[in-house]
Amino acid sequence: MKKLKLLGVLVTLVALSLSSCKKIDQSNPEFVGFWKGSDNNKVYVIEIKSNSEGRYSESEGALNSTENTGAAKFKNGYLKIGAFKKFKVDETPFTLNGSTFMKVEGITYLKY
């Protein structure tokens, strides 16, 4: 009986922690879109769909690239895509001279 109660408490805690991050389409629609940024070495792409599906990729030349996909969530200044990719958002989306930008992990992204 004690084990069942403990299991119930654990399941409840896990469910609460998973539900505490709000999906992008519900709470931060300004993140939805196709974003592209770069530095001297790499090109970075963040794509967030209105159904909260997200994709992150970075490429360094034609043969060297990585990609992560999964649910996109924003909480406490961090953007998470999938189970393993988490980014510090330095500046949330903002508009300047008719273009929309955001700054993530020191990289400025332009929304297309």
In angstroms, what is the C-alpha Rg of the chain? 17
Span 86-105, mean pLDDT? 97
pLDDT, residue 10, reads 38
Is the model more confident about 8 or about 91? 91
Residue that the structure tokens 């393993």 belong to: 84
Q: Tell me: the pLDDT tens digits for 57-92?
A: 999 977 788 999 999 999 999 999 999 899 999 999
pLDDT range class, residue 39, cuts 50, 70, 90: very high
Instruction: Let me know how long the chain is.
Output: 112
CA distance 43 to 20: 31
Q: What percent of the chain has pLDDT over 70?
A: 78
Rounded Cα distance, 17 and 58, in Å: 29
d(CA 24, CA 26): 5
